[in-house]
Amino acid sequence: MQASETRDHRPRSAMDKAAVQAAYKRWAGVYDGAFGLISAAGRKRAVALVNALPGTEVLEVGVGTGLALPLYTTDKRVTGIDLSAEMLARARSRTKKLHLDHVAGLHEMDAEATGFADQSFDTAVAMFVASVVPHPKRLMTELRRLVRPGGHILFVNHFISPSGPRRWVEQAAAPASHALGWHPDFAMEALLTPQEMKRAKAVPVGPFGLFTLVHLPVIGEVSSNL
């Protein structure tokens, strides 16, 4: 995948943990209805890919209310983390109600500094998270640390359009980042290194290609080759 021609990769309005927690405390009660349908195609596509990949230990970053948890096959052992206690409470309720025995644990954690041991997971998947965290580069550093060589890092996210009317709208909406809880003007280059941009696979997912599924295989030593 070639790097886009976006010159400024940084979101124009910075987020912080408090803003993320406040936003998702507001969204927790209506998240499934308000966002569940629009995100369904990307979520299903990402989990289908996780299910097809080798390895059993899966980390879902930004597990939210647990919408994706029932989609994993039972041979996967899924650990979910989220910064929002309110969202996690709903994920735990869903896990208990649906008897999701493949869910190993749901933890209130900062995705940029989880505390898990090095190389704990075969796959890490972050759905609709990259444009939420305050420091995307730190998120990537943490995921590289957590995923074993030969493993996989996956993202589903909205990325800013390289040009045209949609880009103008996304840039205009950027000052509302704190209220929305995510960055409308988020560029893929804010997340991946130039080397990763070249070897990552990206495919648009619905609705209308609004989101992108990014698949980054982890090669060699987790921290030295990226």
**CA-closest candidate to residue 84, choices 35, 37, 28, 140:** 28
Averaged pLDDT for residues 151-158: 94
What value, to the nearest 5°, has the Cα angle with vertex 38 and ends 30 and 172?
90
What 3-state DSSP class applies to 42? helix
Averaged pLDDT for residues 162-173: 43
Averaged pLDDT for residues 154-180: 54
What sign has the CA pseudo-torsion 146, 191, 47, 89?
A: positive
Which amino acid would we find at residue 68?
A
Q: Can you give the pLDDT at residue 187?
A: 83
Question: What domains can be seen in the chain, in order of their start residue?
Answer: 17-151+178-217 (3.40.50.150)
Q: Can you give the pLDDT at residue 126?
A: 97
Q: What is the pLDDT of residues 190-210, one digit of tens each?
A: 899 999 999 999 999 987 778
Q: Can you give the pLDDT at residue 34?
A: 62
Q: What is the pLDDT of residues 91-109, one digit of tens each?
A: 999 999 999 999 999 999 9
Tokens standing for residue 121: 């997971």
For the cut 80, the answer to whether the pLDDT of residue 13 exceeds it is: no
Q: For residues 126 and 218, give the distance between their C-alpha atoms in angstroms, rounded to a whole number.
A: 15
